Amino acid sequence: MASNRFAMAVHILALLARRGGTMTSEEVARSVNTNPVVIRRILGHLRRAGLVCGVSGPSGGSQLCVSPEKISLFDIYRAVEDGELICVHEDPSRRCPVGRRIQSVLENVTTGVKRAVAKELKATKLSAIVRSFG
């Protein structure tokens, strides 16, 4: 994962959890120190994952729609990161015994790594992140 989206998403959700109500993308952007549109793009991922919901208009904004105890870092990771953690070379030679089977061999490796990462991220909830801010 090469993007800042996961880090920004955790930041955003921690802000919303502490607020306990709605925040505008403008407010969030000030804390994350970026453009409100960047925030709204990430909120779009989180909304599609069912973690937040947003309303238009004055006094609008976004808020959590799942309690922080029920949101794991893996839920956040899955919502914003779609790329593969480890890439498998896609076009090896079929004429070589190694090239022919390298993909399935590496598939086992990447499956193991993904499972390990998922297990690690599932172990921490958003509520624990919020508590660590004091």
* Residues at the interface with DNA (CB under 7 A): 2-5, 8, 24-26, 34-38, 40-41, 43-44, 47, 53-62, 81, 83, 87
Tell me which residues touch its own copies (CB under 8 A): 1-4, 6-8, 10-11, 14-15, 18, 30-33, 73, 83-93, 96-99, 101-102, 105-106, 109, 112-113, 116-117, 119-121, 123-124, 129, 132-134
Which of DNA, its own copies, none interacts with 112 (beta carbon under 5 to 8 A by kind)? its own copies
d(CA 36, CA 30): 8
Q: Which is nearer to its own copies, 3 or 67 (CB)?
A: 3
d(CA 46, CA 109): 29
Backbone φ and ψ of 53, nearest 5°: -140, 155
Q: Which is nearer to its own copies, 21 or 58 (CB)?
A: 21
Residue 115, Cβ neighbours under 10 Å: how many? 10
d(CA 44, CA 49): 9
N residues, the chain? 134
Quote the least distance from Cβ 134 to DNA, whole Å: 26
Which of its own copies, DNA, none interacts with 121 (beta carbon under 5 to 8 A by kind)? its own copies
Quote the least distance from Cβ 71 to its own copies, whole Å: 14
Distances (CA, A) of 44 to 5, 11, 29, 74, 132: 12, 15, 15, 17, 26
